[in-house]
Copies of this chain bind each other. A is one copy, B any other.
Amino acid sequence: MDTAQLVALNAAYARAIDNEQYERWPELFHDPCFYKVTTADNVARGYEAGIIYADSRGMLEDRVSALRKANIYERQRYRHIVGLPVVLGMADGTAEVETPFLIVRIMRDGQMDVFATGCYRDKVRPDATGAPRFAERIAVCDGGRFDTLVAIPF
């Protein structure tokens, strides 16, 4: 697994969400998996609980269903700008990676704000076909505006 593959995986991840092709998002994970959205403050304090949590593709798919219903009411769009991945280590075919992100939220009236910034802490390994997939993705937010009805995937 090289940097080019990690870059492609991250680009596909951002594109699925920003193009509102949410159904493609769970496909980028292994099953079972570990997905969590938390904050740097919570991590620093040793809190295990996250804002969002899933440990299977089924749970990720449930989130997509909830999002599709909520989206009838909330019409904001999001734009992920994903930074450069740093490979911290490689063990048993699994890469440990950190990748910074910035998410801009675009309201229906065109108003934009920085919705969240942070760092993805990932474990990535290939699936049976050789395609790299997330065994684990923890989105550690520096801060954020967690005021939406049902949050998009981070």
Question: Does A3 lie within 8 Å of B3, measured CB to CB?
Answer: no
Q: How many copies does the complex hold?
A: 3
| Docked CA distance A79–B107 (Å) | 22
Which residues on the B side are within 8 Å of A8 (C-beta)? Answer: 3, 84, 86
0/1 interface trace, chain A 36-49, chain B, CB 8 Å (1 if under): 00001000000000
* B-facing residues in A45-88 (Cβ within 8 Å): 77, 79-86
Question: Does A77 lie within 8 Å of B40, measured CB to CB?
Answer: yes
Knowing A15-B98, A81-B102, A100-B18, say if A143 contacts B86 (CB, 8 Å): no
Of A26-34, A113-121, A127-135, which stretch is located at the interface?
A113-121
| Docked CA distance A124–B82 (Å) | 22
Knowing A85-B11, A104-B102, A106-B143, say if A79 contacts B118 (CB, 8 Å): yes
A112 at the interface (CB under 8 A from B): yes
Which residues on the B side are within 8 Å of A81 (C-beta)? Answer: 81, 83, 100, 102, 117
| Docked CA distance A18–B100 (Å) | 9
Which residues on the B side are within 8 Å of A4 (C-beta)? Answer: 3
| Docked CA distance A3–B144 (Å) | 32
Question: Does B100 lie within 8 Å of A142, measured CB to CB?
Answer: no
Question: Does B14 lie within 8 Å of A83, measured CB to CB?
Answer: yes
A7 at the interface (CB under 8 A from B): yes
Question: Does A102 lie within 8 Å of B102, measured CB to CB?
Answer: yes
